[in-house]
């Protein structure tokens, strides 16, 4: 069986009414398709057996690693901000590092993007067999 999979994709967040803005002004996130390699890197399967025989494990959330694994170079479109004491200067967010250096007003955007990518990694493929 051969599956056709788009390798480059676009996500338009709802953050701050972005999805209702004119298309040319919308924040867009250009990203890779989810792969098993990305999933294994971000969700390593680590566990151990406790003294009582129960399986224990750990899980950590690394939003920056998640975004870095998916977002393409130049994949952050129309993200920027101005500081109140520099109103004639727009700081453009061009990379994941820039996004994590931005003011906390962007924390909701980071959460939304993280949740979206998490959903891609955990999505189940519709495996209906037809004969």
Which tens digit of pLDDT belongs to each residue from 69-96? 999 999 999 999 998 888 789 999 999 9
- Specify the 3-state DSSP secondary structure of 10: strand
Q: In the predicted model, is pLDDT for residue 126 greater than 60?
A: no
User: 44: helix, coil or strand?
Assistant: coil
The torsion angle over the Cα atoms of residues 128, 37, 8 and 70, rounded to 10 degrees, is 120
Residues 6+ apart with CB under 8 A from 73: 95
The domain ranges of the chain are: 8-46+55-122
User: For 108-116, what is the mean pLDDT?
Assistant: 97
Which residues on adjacent β-strands are paired with residue 88? Answer: none
Q: Which two tokens stand for residue 26?
A: 């919308």
Per-residue pLDDT reduced to its tens digit, 24-61: 999 999 999 999 899 988 887 776 777 777 777 666 77
What tokens appear for 6 in the block? 């788009």
């Amino acid at each position: 069986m051969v599956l056709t999979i788009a390798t480059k994709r676009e996500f338009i967040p709802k953050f701050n009414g972005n999805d209702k803005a004119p298309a040319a002004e919308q924040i867009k996130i250009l990203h890779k398709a989810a792969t098993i390699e990305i999933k294994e890197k971000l969700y390593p399967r680590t566990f151990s057996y406790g003294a009582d025989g129960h399986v224990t494990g750990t899980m950590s959330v690394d939003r920056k690693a998640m975004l870095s694994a998916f977002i393409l170079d130049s994949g952050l479109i129309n993200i920027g901000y101005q500081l109140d004491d520099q109103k004639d200067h727009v700081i453009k967010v061009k990379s994941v590092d820039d996004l994590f250096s931005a003011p906390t007003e962007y924390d909701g955007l980071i959460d939304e993007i993280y949740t979206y990518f998490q959903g891609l990694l955990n999505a189940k493929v519709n495996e209906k067999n037809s004969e």
